[in-house]
A and B are shown apart, each in its own frame.
Chain A
Amino acid sequence: MKKLMLGNEAVARGAFEAGVTVAAAYPGTPSTEITENIAKYDEIYAEWSPNEKVALEVAVGASIAGARSICSMKHVGLNVAADPLFTASYTGVNGGLVIMVADDPGMHSSQNEQDSRFYARGSKVPMLEPSDSQECKDYVKKAFEISEKYDTPVIVRLSTRVSHSQSVVETSDRIDFKLRDYVKNPGKFVMMPAMARKRHVEVEKRMADLRDFSNTEELNRIEWGSKDIGVITSGIAYQYAREVFGDVSYLKLGMVYPLPDKLIKEFASQVKTLYVIEELEPFIEDFVKSLGIKTIGKDILPVMGEYSASLLSDKIFGKNKESVNVTDEEIPVRPPVMCPGCPHRGMYYVLKKLKLTVSGDIGCYTLGALPPTQSMDTCICMGASIGAAHGMEKARGTEFGKKTVAILGDSTFIHSGITGLIDIVYNKGNSTVIILDNSITGMTGHQHNPTTGFTIKGEPAKQVDLEKLCKAVGIERVRIADPFNLKEFEKVVKEEIEAEESSVIISQRPCALLKHVKFEGTLRINRDKCKKCKLCMSVGCPAIVDKGDHIEVNEALCVGCTLCTKVCNFDAFEKAGE
Chain B
Amino acid sequence: MEKLNIMIVGVGGQGTLLASRVLGNVAMKMDHDVKVSEVHGMSQRGGSVVTYVKMGKKVYSPIIEKGEADIIIAFERLEALRWIGYLKKDGTLILNDQRIDPMPVITGNAKYPESIVEKIKNNFANVVAIDALEIAKQCGNIKAVNTVLLGLLAKSTAIDKQVWIESLKQNVPSKALEVNLKAFEAGYMDNGY
User: Is residue A269 within 8 Å, beta carbon to beta carbon, of the partner chain?
Assistant: no
The verdict on A109 contacting B40 (CB below 8 Å), with A323-B67, A371-B104 known, is yes
User: Is residue A222 within 8 Å, beta carbon to beta carbon, of the partner chain?
Assistant: no
Residues of A within 8 A of B158 (CB): none
Whether A334 pairs with B11 at a CB distance below 8 angstroms is yes
Whether A371 pairs with B82 at a CB distance below 8 angstroms is no
The verdict on A167 contacting B63 (CB below 8 Å), with A339-B13, A545-B101 known, is no
Q: Which of A149-157, A235-243, A289-297, A386-394 contacts B (4 or more CB under 8 A)?
A: A235-243
Residues of A within 8 A of B35 (CB): 132, 165-167
**A556–B40 CA distance with the chains assembled, in angstroms:** 22
Whether A327 pairs with B81 at a CB distance below 8 angstroms is yes
- Chain A CB count within 10 A is highest, among B24, B60, B86, B108, for B60
Task: Give the contacts of A1-38 with B (CB-CB under 8 A).
Answer: 2-4, 6, 29-30, 32-33
Residues of B within 8 A of A132 (CB): 35
User: Is residue A568 within 8 Å, beta carbon to beta carbon, of the partner chain?
Assistant: no
The verdict on A339 contacting B42 (CB below 8 Å), with A326-B81, A546-B108 known, is no
**A168–B28 CA distance with the chains assembled, in angstroms:** 8
Whether A333 pairs with B42 at a CB distance below 8 angstroms is no
Residues of B within 8 A of A334 (CB): 11, 46-48, 78-79, 82, 102-103
What is the chain A residue whose CB lies nearest that of B12?
A: A336
Whether B42 pairs with A108 at a CB distance below 8 angstroms is yes
Whether A308 pairs with B65 at a CB distance below 8 angstroms is yes
User: Is residue A300 within 8 Å, beta carbon to beta carbon, of the partner chain?
Assistant: no
Whether A239 pairs with B60 at a CB distance below 8 angstroms is yes
Whether B39 pairs with A323 at a CB distance below 8 angstroms is no
**A334–B44 CA distance with the chains assembled, in angstroms:** 11
The verdict on A166 contacting B36 (CB below 8 Å), with A30-B41, A335-B102, A336-B43 known, is yes
Residues of B within 8 A of A330 (CB): 110
Residues of B within 8 A of A6 (CB): 38
Whether A339 pairs with B45 at a CB distance below 8 angstroms is yes
Q: From the candidates B39, B81, B112, B133, name the one contacting A556 in the complex (CB within 8 A).
A: B133
Task: Give the contacts of B21-72 with A (CB-CB under 8 A).
Answer: 24-25, 27-28, 33-48, 59-63, 65-68
Residues of B within 8 A of A337 (CB): 45-47, 103
From residue B166, how far is it (CB to closest CB) to chain A in Å?
Answer: 14
User: Is residue A82 within 8 Å, beta carbon to beta carbon, of the partner chain?
Assistant: no
User: Is residue B120 within 8 Å, beta carbon to beta carbon, of the partner chain?
Assistant: yes
User: Is residue B139 within 8 Å, beta carbon to beta carbon, of the partner chain?
Assistant: no
Whether A335 pairs with B47 at a CB distance below 8 angstroms is yes
Whether A326 pairs with B34 at a CB distance below 8 angstroms is no
Residues of B within 8 A of A371 (CB): 103-104, 107, 109
What is the size, in residues, of chain A's interface with B at 8 Å between Cβ atoms? 60
Q: Contact mask A335-352 → B, CB, 8 Å, 1/0?
A: 111110000000000000
A-B contact count (CB 8 A): 183
**A337–B47 CA distance with the chains assembled, in angstroms:** 7
Q: From the candidates A33, A321, A367, name the one contacting B67 in the complex (CB within 8 A).
A: A321
What is the chain B residue whose CB lies nearest that of A237?
A: B61
Residues of A within 8 A of B98 (CB): 556
Residues of B within 8 A of A508 (CB): none
**A445–B59 CA distance with the chains assembled, in angstroms:** 29
Q: Contact mask A357-378 → B, CB, 8 Å, 1/0?
A: 0000000100100111000000
From residue A195, how far is it (CB to closest CB) to chain B in Å?
Answer: 42
What is the chain B residue whose CB lies nearest that of A238?
A: B60
Whether B44 pairs with A321 at a CB distance below 8 angstroms is no
User: Is residue A542 within 8 Å, beta carbon to beta carbon, of the partner chain?
Assistant: yes
What is the chain A residue whose CB lies nearest that of B39?
A: A108
From residue B33, how far is it (CB to closest CB) to chain A in Å?
Answer: 7
Q: From the candidates A29, A165, A310, name the one contacting B41 in the complex (CB within 8 A).
A: A29
Sampled A-B contacts (22; CB under 8 Å): A4-B36, A30-B40, A108-B41, A109-B42, A164-B40, A165-B38, A167-B33, A321-B66, A323-B66, A331-B81, A333-B110, A334-B82, A334-B102, A335-B103, A335-B104, A336-B12, A336-B44, A372-B106, A443-B42, A445-B40, A554-B101, A556-B133
Beyond contacts A166-B35, A321-B65, A326-B81: 11 other A-B pairs, Cβ-Cβ < 8 A, are A29-B42, A30-B41, A167-B34, A308-B63, A308-B65, A326-B84, A331-B81, A332-B102, A334-B82, A339-B45, A556-B142
Chain B positions within 8 Å of A, measured between CB atoms, are 11-13, 24-25, 27-28, 33-48, 59-63, 65-68, 78-79, 81-82, 84-87, 89, 98, 100-113, 119-120, 122-124, 133, 142
Nearest first, the 9 closest Cβ-Cβ pairs linking A and B are A29-B41, A109-B41, A336-B47, A332-B110, A334-B102, A336-B45, A323-B67, A109-B42, A165-B62
